[in-house]
Amino acid sequence: MITQQFHTVGQVAVLAGVTVRTLHHYDRIGLLVPSERSEQGYRLYDYGDLERLRQIRLLRELRFSLDAIGQMLDATAYDRRSALVGQRELLRERQERTEKIIFGVDRALTALEEEKEMNRTEMFEGLEEFDHEQYQEEAERRWGHTDAYRESMRRTRRYGKNDWARIKEEGETVMARLADLLADGAQAAGRAAMDLAEEHRCHIDRWFYPCSHGMHRALADMYTADPRFMEYFEKRGQGLATFVQDAIKANAARARSRS
Amino acid sequence: MITQQFHTVGQVAVLAGVTVRTLHHYDRIGLLVPSERSEQGYRLYDYGDLERLRQIRLLRELRFSLDAIGQMLDATAYDRRSALVGQRELLRERQERTEKIIFGVDRALTALEEEKEMNRTEMFEGLEEFDHEQYQEEAERRWGHTDAYRESMRRTRRYGKNDWARIKEEGETVMARLADLLADGAQAAGRAAMDLAEEHRCHIDRWFYPCSHGMHRALADMYTADPRFMEYFEKRGQGLATFVQDAIKANAARARSRS
DNA sequence: CTTGACCCTGACGTAACGTCAGGCTCTACC
DNA sequence: GGTAGAGCCTGACGTTACGTCAGGGTCAAG
């Protein structure tokens, strides 16, 4: 049973802590059109409108553009429950980011007291502009392991052109050596292949995101599951994707048996 | 010993996760002017500049306007340590607000499942626009006891119209009675005046912020030192400001002698 | 000596409202 | 029952914090 109670702009403005002008604006751009108008043309908002406004303000607080917000809320696949859950996730993330910023302030304080300088890369942790678009597009469909993805984004944004060249070369070298092994008919579970797999893992760990053996195995699975990766591997050796996958799994197993 | 290492716009941009244009902009408006320029006019930023940029980005993250940020960082009374501590405080507050918003999402989820409606006043908790101006202007110059000020802001933001009316009336009553005493020629250090001073202290303690006797005395000093307060008192009785001041001090002394 | 990555300074564009101006509506009080 | 004050409406122009070219120097590498 839904009570059909209406609110005028002024009332909504007080409730939500926004200005009347903001509501006018949302109406004009079609983001929040009140579900009713009085005889005299007064805007009348019902509970559904308020709930939508709540979500709008929440997403705005998280720096999404009104345009993006509109798309999210009007998405055909929009499901209220999962939307709310997603929002909670975003808020948790923000808490983590804020925590990092606080950490930065603390470091600045100790640096000040000890008259030292802060580490230049730590300095802006949590303060970088987060690229919402990429987040939306990419994270939305594939890649599953979102934490790794995000950390990867965070780190790689700092890399300059030279860095990229060097890192890419390092990665290519490992892949080339694996391709050579495959061409020579070596075993994926052999010593040489496993060592190269381990090198690959360290490469990722150093330049992209913390990569445990478990994470590495998950990655290996993706190499055969995701067409984008498949293409990359097949270009430098037929069957390389599965070969690398096996080598990584063998390496992970070896690491576990050692500990 | 400070290492004098310089960074160009591009490098700073990557470090801080902002665009080059943003740095140009900050330069033009005088918010962050690089401490050096190369022969060819290239902007060169040193560590101090980076630290300032860090603070700028932090305060921006907290939605302060560039104008406000400039005023804060260039305030004559600016002290790096207390500025950092203040920033940490603001960030903690934000964590609390985020927590409230998450709470709101959870409530929305349960409301959805139980097909009920949310409480309209709880709905937007943590999402209201915070009035930065008030915070800034006031906190910047006077009032010294910033903690009290912030706590006061925090509490009063929740008060509705009725609350305000009631609280204000309660305060006015006390003042009126003190004015009466003054008019009757009573002693500021007399029993009646001291009792009213105590009432005044409790009033603040209950509705605005924890108010010890020490804090109350500091407040009393302000009543004669700050023209805004002076005006308030003088309007309802000539010499009332000093009368109240004396009564408060006497009351504080009495409290101490009792313990 | 050219090419590609960076740097510079205008100058115009844009998102999300703020801020009037000019005018209708509704309750309240004399 | 009229009028004052608070609230609503629709333009329309202003503002903040950059984004986005355009046109043109700088510098290391090949």
The CATH number given to whatever domain includes residue A218 is: 1.10.490.50
Instruction: Give the closest residue to C18 (Cα–C1′).
Output: A21
Sign of the torsion formed by the C-alpha atoms of B58, B64, B67 and B72: negative
Sequence letter at residue B30? G
Nearest CB among A57, A80, A157 relative to B127 is that of A57
CATH number, position B54: 1.10.1660.10
- Taking CB atoms and an 8 Å limit, are B124 and A57 in contact across chains? yes
Residues A23 and A66 in one domain: yes
Question: Residue A195: phi, psi to the nearest 5?
Answer: -60, -40
Nearest CB among B18, B50, B127 relative to A129 is that of B18
pLDDT at B53: 95
Residue pair B245/B224 in contact by the 8 Å Cβ criterion: yes
Name residue, tokens 């002008």: A21
Tell me the C-alpha distance between B140 and B27, whole Å.
24
Tell me the C-alpha distance between B119 and A172, whole Å.
58
pLDDT at A143: 31
Is the minimum distance from the CB of A160 to strand C below 7 Å?
Answer: yes
Residue ranges, chain A, pLDDT below 70: 1-4, 75-78, 130-170, 205-212, 214-215, 218-237, 256-259
Residue B142 CB neighbours (<10 A): 14
Question: Residue B128: phi, psi to the nearest 5?
Answer: -65, 150
pLDDT digits (tens, 9 = 90+) for A112-121: 888 777 777 7
Tell me the C-alpha distance between B105 and A54, whole Å.
9
Query: For residue A138, is it within any domain?
Result: no
Residues B206 and B247 in one domain: yes
Query: For residue A84, is it within any domain?
Result: yes
Q: Which of B206, B110, B99 is nearest to B163 (CA)?
A: B206
Contacts of B11 in chain A (CB under 8 A): 160
* Domains contained in chain A, number: 3
The range of the structural domain enclosing residue B179 comes to 159-258
Nearest CB among A94, A118, A129 relative to B17 is that of A129
Instruction: Classify the complex by whether its ipTM is higher than 0.85, answering yes or no.
Output: no
Tell me the C-alpha distance between A231 and B219, whole Å.
73
- Domain limit, last residue, from B33, B53, B74: B74
pLDDT at B167: 58
A-B C-beta contacts closer than 8 Å: 123
Q: Which of A166, A169, A193 is nearest to A179 (CA)?
A: A193
Q: Is A152 helix (H, G, I), strand (E, B) or coil?
A: helix
Tell me the C-alpha distance between A46 and A12, whole Å.
10
A79 touches chain B (CB under 8 A): no
Residue pair B197/B248 in contact by the 8 Å Cβ criterion: yes
B162 touches chain A (CB under 8 A): no
Chain D bases closer than 7 angstroms to a protein Cβ: 7-10, 16-21, 25-27
Residues B91 and B165 in one domain: no
Residue pair A69/A59 in contact by the 8 Å Cβ criterion: yes
Query: For residue A140, is it within any domain?
Result: no
pLDDT at B57: 94
Contacts (Cβ under 8 Å, ≥6 apart) of B164: none
| Tens-digit pLDDT string for chain B (259 aa) | 444 689 999 999 988 999 999 999 999 999 999 999 999 999 999 999 999 999 999 999 999 999 989 988 886 556 778 788 888 888 988 999 999 999 999 999 998 888 888 877 778 888 777 654 444 443 343 333 344 444 444 444 444 445 555 556 667 778 778 887 877 777 888 888 888 888 788 777 666 656 667 667 766 655 654 444 555 566 666 667 778 888 888 888 887 766 6
Maximum distance among all Cα pairs of chain B, rounded to whole angstroms: 78
Which chain B residue lies closest to A160 (C-alpha atoms)? B14
Which chain B residue lies closest to A15 (C-alpha atoms)? B121
Residues B70 and B16 in one domain: yes
Residues A13 and A91 in one domain: no
- Domain limit, last residue, from B56, B74, B92: B74
Query: For residue A3, is it within any domain?
Result: no
Tell me the C-alpha distance between A203 and A177, whole Å.
14
- Domain limit, last residue, from B74, B105, B128: B74
B91 touches chain A (CB under 8 A): yes
**Nearest 10 degrees: Cα torsion A15, A16, A20, A23:** -130
Residue pair B208/B152 in contact by the 8 Å Cβ criterion: yes
Query: For residue A148, is it within any domain?
Result: no
pLDDT at A233: 64
